[in-house]
Structure 1
Amino acid sequence: MNDTPRFDATWKTWLDENILRGCTHQSLIDAMVAAAFDPDTARRILARHLAGEAADTSAYVHGTPMLPPGRVLTASDCEARRLFGCEQPVIALFADVLAHDECDRLIEIGRARVQRSSVVDPDSGNEVASSERRSEGAFVDASANALVGDIDRRLAELFRQPVENGEELHILRYSVGGEYRPHFDYFPEEQAGSRHHLQRGGQRVATVILYLNEVARGGDTTFPAVGLTIHPRRGCALYFEYGNALGQSDPKTLHAGTPVEAGEKWIATKWIRRGRFRA
């Protein structure tokens, strides 16, 4: 399981103290690597610290991805083939993550529960309705549904993330005209409304979108900053990550769900936090 530390105030103090003690630069890097930092990220952190630069500079630093390498990811009950991948930002599409009957069962669960979707108000942090997001959704707790529990475990195994770091599975329905305009999945830390959400497990660092049906027309997932468009394929999972060891969030993961033009679109989304999620 991935457990990359964040370069926070404690680490900054540690660097200052050990530089003052006369520790070599390589020994500092070695110590950070031993604490699970990626080697390239540790070198960049030290270089910026010595230069007096803030580690949380606006330029996002790409280190070693959290996403496991390889053309096939494996779980105890699944082998998921990588259909394509992008390195900056880290985006990948995987086939055969859900069986068709599992997709159907999730849609059945969703039909009985979905209500109008909301967004986080940037000032208050409250959930509010918005024309930016036209869909219906419902969170499903794994403890109340065995299928969701199996899927939570499978995703944790495939993407090497602690199952407890995942938010509850969010089933979403988009009817004709339904869309989600360009947005980020992470919480902007400069906004007062993000504070409450960040206290429930830290920042979001990755997203998995499970496509539950074939959409007749429209309903694509787009990443406008990199010119990427993905059309829903039943049983596939779209993974993208946007958090690094410096505590930055990657703005190139701006994405949108384009309007459904015919039929309907069903997806299930799993957001992954930096730490243990508290519902």
Structure 2
Amino acid sequence: MPKPAHPDCDALARIGTSVRERLGTDRTFDRLHVEGAELYQADAFLSDVDCRHLIALIDHVACPSRLVEEGGWEDYRTSFSGDIDPEDSVVKSIDSRLCDLTGIDPRHCESMQGQRYNQGEYYHEHWDWFDTKAPYWRRESRNGGQRSWTAMIYLNAVDEGGTTDFVHLDLQVAPARGSLLIWNNARPDGSPNPLTMHAARPVTSGVKYVVTKWFRARPWR
């Protein structure tokens, strides 16, 4: 008998095809040359002024970062983070741009989250997609389901360290002010892609600021 479809698999496959076609013809983006995963990068996606504005918003809301599953994962993520005001004019503009670029329905967007990594802080290896066998999946299934794409914008260059490492792809991305990194958390068939495991490596000098936007298979909240 065939295996049952993974939750949200069909929706993720449709979203993946649509976004792939849009980004593939958009000269804003360069597809990164890695096998088995879809990652795109756009330099200077945000202006210096917008980056400074978002950094101030992050400093206003940042609290110790949490995990979707806390038990037994102490010190796995040591950054500070928080959801940024969705009614802020700059945030609304960025949200609109990301939805226009990807073609993803705005109803499928999570609130933009800001993250700050002080010297020595990090986030160990993880996926952005959800483990559908974990206890938290029941909550996330009701809250928009599986994550489809991730959009991460670096708000500053880091003096040393702080790279985003895709550990199964031999890919390290260094923060650059205003640059956007976007990737598909699923395979083309819509199943979760284990090759998208990534880590925020420790900042060894300076401070790192990023904002992240996650998209869901279904309307969020």
With normalisation by structure 2, the TM-score equals 0.88
Q: How does 1:142-153 map to 2 (within 5 A)?
A: 142=86, 144-153=87-96
Displacement of 1:177 in angstroms is 0.7
- Asked if structure 2 preserves the Cα contact closer than 8 Å seen for 1:224 and 1:254, the reply is yes
- Following the alignment from structure 1 to structure 2, what is the Cα–Cα distance between the partners of residues 105 and 85? 32
Q: How does 1:242-253 map to 2 (within 5 A)?
A: 242-243=185-186, 247-253=190-196
With normalisation by structure 1, the TM-score equals 0.70
2:96 partner letter: R
Change (3 A) 1:94 1:121: same
Q: Which residue of 1 aligns with 2:81?
A: 137
Change (3 A) 1:159 1:130: farther
- Asked if structure 2 preserves the Cα contact closer than 8 Å seen for 1:139 and 1:168, the reply is yes
Displacement of 1:150 in angstroms is 0.7
- Asked if structure 1 preserves the Cα contact closer than 8 Å seen for 2:110 and 2:213, the reply is yes
- Following the alignment from structure 2 to structure 1, what is the Cα–Cα distance between the partners of residues 139 and 189? 21
1:118 partner letter: R
| Cα deviation digits, residues 109-156 of structure 1 (max 9, x gap) | 111111110001178xxxx983110100110242x3111111100111
Question: Which residue, out of 208, 216, 219, partners 1:265?
Answer: 208
3-state SS in 2 of match to 1:138: strand
Give structure 1 stretches of 5+ with no counterpart: 1-51, 74-79
- Following the alignment from structure 1 to structure 2, what is the Cα–Cα distance between the partners of residues 136 and 147? 21
- Following the alignment from structure 2 to structure 1, what is the Cα–Cα distance between the partners of residues 73 and 111? 20
- Asked if structure 2 preserves the Cα contact closer than 8 Å seen for 1:211 and 1:237, the reply is yes
- Following the alignment from structure 1 to structure 2, what is the Cα–Cα distance between the partners of residues 262 and 208? 25
- Following the alignment from structure 1 to structure 2, what is the Cα–Cα distance between the partners of residues 55 and 244? 16
- Following the alignment from structure 1 to structure 2, what is the Cα–Cα distance between the partners of residues 106 and 93? 20
Higher normalized contact order (CA 8 Å, seq sep 6+, divided by chain length): 2
Change (3 A) 1:81 1:253: closer
- Asked if structure 2 preserves the Cα contact closer than 8 Å seen for 1:71 and 1:82, the reply is no
3-state SS in 2 of match to 1:205: strand
- Asked if structure 2 preserves the Cα contact closer than 8 Å seen for 1:205 and 1:274, the reply is yes
Q: Which residue of 1 aligns with 2:52?
A: 104
- Following the alignment from structure 1 to structure 2, what is the Cα–Cα distance between the partners of residues 100 and 85? 28
- Asked if structure 2 preserves the Cα contact closer than 8 Å seen for 1:176 and 1:259, the reply is yes
Give structure 2 stretches of 5+ with no counterpart: none
| Cα deviation digits, residues 182-218 of structure 1 (max 9, x gap) | 0011110011122102211111111011000000100
Q: How does 1:1-279 map to 2 (within 5 A)?
A: 52-54=1-3, 56=5, 64=17, 66-67=19-20, 68-70=22-24, 72-73=26-27, 80-82=28-30, 84-86=32-34, 88-121=36-69, 130-142=74-86, 144-243=87-186, 247-278=190-221
Between structure 1 and structure 2, the one with the greater Rg is 1
- Asked if structure 2 preserves the Cα contact closer than 8 Å seen for 1:114 and 1:138, the reply is yes
